[in-house]
Structure 1
């Protein structure tokens, strides 16, 4: 069975199953190229972004061009899980100058999400962006201060972790 077919067969919930898929295919030479391509497909976005996140967390990297494609696709991600996976992967994917504006728009949209996890990690994404581009620091500090006043407890927990790191 192919990676594509296994991802299509995945129930979208079982972390054991998607982890097994990762174990079977992560050593393939075209693994990241294929996953980046799968991020363009609504039916594969959730699994592809999870696998990319797992790959990055396993001390692998994406090429500069692959990162640029992911950031260009980010505003068009449909599921909250796919958005979350990209937000959680930002620390491993430097934002290029050409992607900066698009990433900013993606992050602003995520800050307005109904999903608390997406909002929490959008704050984290803005923090990562501000580390690379200091012109965002003042605004990000305001976002974090507002979050500590207005956000749900689960979001505040993520923001507290960000504040501990400082700029």
Structure 2
């Protein structure tokens, strides 16, 4: 896949199903990072949360540190949208802060403490959840 084609692929990914399909497909690490970076802007339907969870867990062992770093960010998004994942994500972050490279650790710290846009009533306001993970 050439870089122009990769950029087009990122542009056409709009909804959760399209994004999950693209994340599951083989891609260059650069395209994969761009797809992972789109996660915070996409509301994942409850029926697709396990698919996203599996994809992100797979990406935590990717050989490229940028893919791993953004997979941690994706886990933060998953936990913000589905609080039942907060405990697991907290434990995964603790392991990452112990074992990962400095660049990945920085992304984990950023993902852990970053406010997220609210999707509920009063959307547009920033909501900062506790740093439970």
Task: Confirm or deny a common fold (TM above 0.5).
Answer: yes
| Candidates 78, 91, 102, aligned match of 2:40 | 91
Aligned counterpart, 1:147: 96
Aligned counterpart, 1:103: 52
Quote the offset at 1:105 in angstroms: 1.2
- The number of aligned residues is 116
Normalised to the residue count of structure 2, the TM-score between the two structures is 0.77
Larger Rg: 1
Q: Higher helix share goes to which structure?
A: 1
Deviates more, 1:122-131 or 1:93-102: 93-102
Within-5 A mapping of 1:9-48: 12=3, 44=5, 46-48=6-8
Q: Structure 1, unaligned stretches of length 5 or more?
A: 1-7, 13-17, 19-43, 54-61
State the alpha-carbon separation in 2 of the partners of residues 49 and 154 from structure 1: 26
Normalised to the residue count of structure 1, the TM-score between the two structures is 0.62
Quote the offset at 1:72 in angstroms: 2.7
Aligned counterpart, 2:30: 81
Post-superposition CA distance 1:103-133 (Å, at most 9, x none)? 1111011101010010001001001000111
Q: Structure 2, unaligned stretches of length 5 or more?
A: 115-130
Q: Aligned-residue CA RMSD in angstroms?
A: 2.0
Post-superposition CA distance 1:59-106 (Å, at most 9, x none)? xxx4xxx32122133211321122111110000011112221211111
Quote the offset at 1:52 in angstroms: 5.3
2:32–2:67 contact (8 Å) kept in structure 1: yes
1:72–1:99 contact (8 Å) kept in structure 2: no
Aligned counterpart, 2:81: 132
